[in-house]
Amino acid sequence: TEQCVLTERRDGYTVITLNRPDKLNAFNVEQHRQLKAALAECARDDDCRAVLLTGAGRGFCAGQDLSDRDTGMSGENPDLGATIEAYYNPLVRQIRALEVPVICAVNGVAAGAGANIALACDIVLAARSARFIQAFAKIALVPDSGGTYWLARFLGEARAKALALTAEPLPAEQAADWGLIWKAVDDADLMDEAHGLCASLASGPTRALALTKQAIQAASVNSLDQQLDLERELQREAGYSGDYREGVSAFLEKRPAKYTGR
Ligand code: T3D
């Protein structure tokens, strides 16, 4: 089988690289299967304290492989809802449910579901030359993989609608200025910066970071009262961790904290 996804273990974190560069890493079923397995392995592995997702070659991901219709989707009335249900929605949920931070290094164009999978990640860095394209309208489809949610939530309706209805590319720099992603960095610096960030998160208080991710994701559906209650419960849990004791000791002893993730 084609190696559509490469994984590499680094010190404390895992690098996952989409690897169909001739197709700008567009998704076929095999790439979906391998990515799902790679993310599941990260969830199982206690030594994996951050994940770095990126793409091989000049693109990050061009969404669904439009030439790959061997998924029962050929014929006159393909049920695209079935692909979404079987592959794209579980992928977005898997990324959001992963406890450790998922960093996305968008190394080049991110189009269609490729853009929205990037936006599902916790921290998105993009090469200055990268573009985000809600390509769906160009082929008479609707943004999926959370696209309508991310755009409306991060940008507001005005920008969300214009991007989705026109399918115009959004340059990385503007995506960062608008708050769609964390930051745009010079192409040559992207991977160094992404690795540095992952290494730093991987040596952080993993449990507290997981609880923080959970709280921020819950904020979008909670009232302030619900969120205050949730913060109380998560803080209670964080306060029982060895890393909290270490963090406070290190502060009082004026030395760097040495977190174990527990
Ligand atoms: O099951 C379902 O369908 C439902 C799920 C839908 C989810 C979706 O993601 S729908 C949206 C699918 N994606 C797109 O519509 C994007 C299509 N690609 C493009 O518009 C352009 O490739 C880009 C704007 C992303 C990049 O343009 P450019 O000029 O830098 O590169 P290129 O020359 O277009 O692409 C390079 C090669 O990759 C080329 O192949 P070739 O000519 O060298 O043999 C191109 O055909 C191939 N490629 C790019 N994207 C896809 C693709 N092949 C198959 N599927 C793709 N999505």
Q: Is the entire prediction scored with pTM above 0.95?
A: yes
Which of 18, 19, 24, 106 is the best mutation target for the ligand 1 pocket, counting ligand atoms within 8 Å of the beta carbon and taking the most?
24
Q: Is 61 in the pocket of ligand 1 (CB under 6 A)?
A: no
Ligand 1 atom at minimum distance from 133 CA: 24
Alpha-carbon gap, residue 41 to 188, rounded angstroms? 30
pLDDT digits (tens, 9 = 90+) for 162-209: 999 999 999 999 999 999 999 999 999 999 999 999 999 999 999 999
Q: How many helices (H) and strands (E) does the chain have?
A: 11, 10
With a cut of 80, say whether residue 73 has pLDDT above it. Answer: no
Ligand 1 atom at minimum distance from 78 CA: 1
CA contacts within 13 A on the Cβ side of 261: 17
Q: Is 87 in the pocket of ligand 1 (CB under 6 A)?
A: no
Alpha-carbon gap, residue 7 to 81, rounded angstroms? 29
Whole-number pLDDT of residue 70? 57
The CA 37 to ligand 1 mean position distance, Å, reads: 24
With a cut of 70, say whether residue 71 has pLDDT above it. Answer: no
- State how far the alpha carbon of 248 is from the alpha carbons of 74, 153, 231, 244, in Å: 59, 35, 19, 6
> Greater confidence, 175 or 68?
175
- Report the complex ipTM: 0.98
Q: Is 180 in the pocket of ligand 1 (CB under 6 A)?
A: no
- Could you tell me if 52 and 13 are in contact, meaning their C-beta atoms sit under 8 angstroms apart? yes
- Could you tell me if 99 and 190 are in contact, meaning their C-beta atoms sit under 8 angstroms apart? no
Give rounded-to-5 percent helix, strand, coil for the chain.
Answer: 50, 15, 35
Q: Determine the average pLDDT of the residues in 139-156.
A: 98
What domains lie within the chain, and their CATH numbers? Answer: 5-202 (3.90.226.10), 206-252 (1.10.12)
With a cut of 80, say whether residue 74 has pLDDT above it. Answer: no
φ, ψ for residue 172 (rounded to 5)?
-50, -45
